[in-house]
Amino acid sequence: MLARLPRVANENVLVGFDTSDDAGVYKLTAECALVQTVDFFTPIVDDAYTFGAIAAANSLSDVYAMGGKPVSALSIVAYPGKGDLDDLEQILKGGAGKIHEADCVVIGGHSITDDEIKFGYAVTGIVHPDRVKTNGGARPGDALVFTKRIGTGVISTALKRGVAREKDVCASVESMLTLNRSACEAMLEFDVHSCTDVSGFGLIGHAREMALAGGVTLELQAEAVRFLPGAVEYARAGAIPGGLKNNREFASCVVEKTRPLSDEIENLLYDPQTSGGLLIAMPDDDAARFIGKCEYAYRIGRVLARQEKAIRLA
């Protein structure tokens, strides 16, 4: 739909909606640009406070993916008119707590009555115009580094079906609550060529955007990808979210498999993530040093010159 909107030329728009980037970037001065994004969704965990905190971490992630520092946030709330106000209070407190953890401030928001609960934030960050990280720019020879494990969508589905173990849910929640702040701060010390956060489109969906934006092919080592505890088991048992099926239907046409993969592993590569990690393309030497500084980071592949397919699963 966005592709049909008229483009308005503005020299201060450094990143707009036409590049499928994580956030928009608007230049204010030679030293400062705004990073702007918005995200909200329905509850994925039972606890109201935790849901609010996860929604906040997810909203902040787009700013980190652009190399920015979040500074302010506006809450977005849809809540039933006869809903439990104590639960609403906990959602707002959970979100505010996570926003403040990021040294960001909630300065307002907007709410509407809706039968289905939805919550998130519009977040504004700042970044130096010369230090913006986009999903384009990956170069052949770059290493691909990822900063979280995969599987939040499958585990959330298993939870809804009542088959998820508590310890697996806790590990997934811990991952979703972890800000990408430290990963962002660490990557800014290196020559990062491209970055995106992995969220609703899954690892392959967001890798596709990076590959197409950079005119390259990304080779992903399936055995190198790390999964959250229980994710492979639940995927094997059929706990497949609708978003995963949509992601696979949309993006599989750009994927070349060089060897057979089990259905559960291949499915998880399309699993929609909430508050997922950063996918980063950087020189090989820098990747090794970055992994040493960022405890969550690990190598999952490399960037190749453009081939027939945008993604190569090796």
CATH of domain 2-131: 3.30.1330.10
Quote the Cα angle for 217-218-220, to 5°: 145
Q: Which CATH architecture has domain 143-313?
A: Alpha-Beta Complex (3.90)
Task: Supply the pLDDT for residue 82.
Answer: 93
Residues of the chain with pLDDT under 70: 1-3
Task: Supply the pLDDT for residue 4.
Answer: 73
CA distance linking residue 262 with residue 270, whole number of Å = 13
Task: Supply the pLDDT for residue 3.
Answer: 63
Task: Supply the pLDDT for residue 141.
Answer: 97
Task: Supply the pLDDT for residue 280.
Answer: 98
CA distance linking residue 53 with residue 41, whole number of Å = 12
Question: pTM of the entire structure?
Answer: 0.95
Helix, strand, or coil here: 228? coil
- CA distances from residue 300 to 57, 105, 217, 307 in whole angstroms, order as listed: 23, 34, 14, 19
142 CB contacts (<8 Å, ≥6 apart)?
193, 194, 281, 282, 283, 284, 287, 302, 303
Q: Where in the chain is the domain with CATH 3.30.1330.10?
A: 2-131
What pLDDT, in 10s, does the model give residues 162-183? 999 999 999 999 999 999 999 9
Q: Where in the chain is the domain with CATH 3.90.650.10?
A: 143-313
Task: Supply the pLDDT for residue 17.
Answer: 85
What pLDDT, in 10s, does the model give residues 93-104? 999 999 999 999
Task: Supply the pLDDT for residue 2.
Answer: 60
Identify the CA nearest to 302 among candidates 177, 166, 140: 140
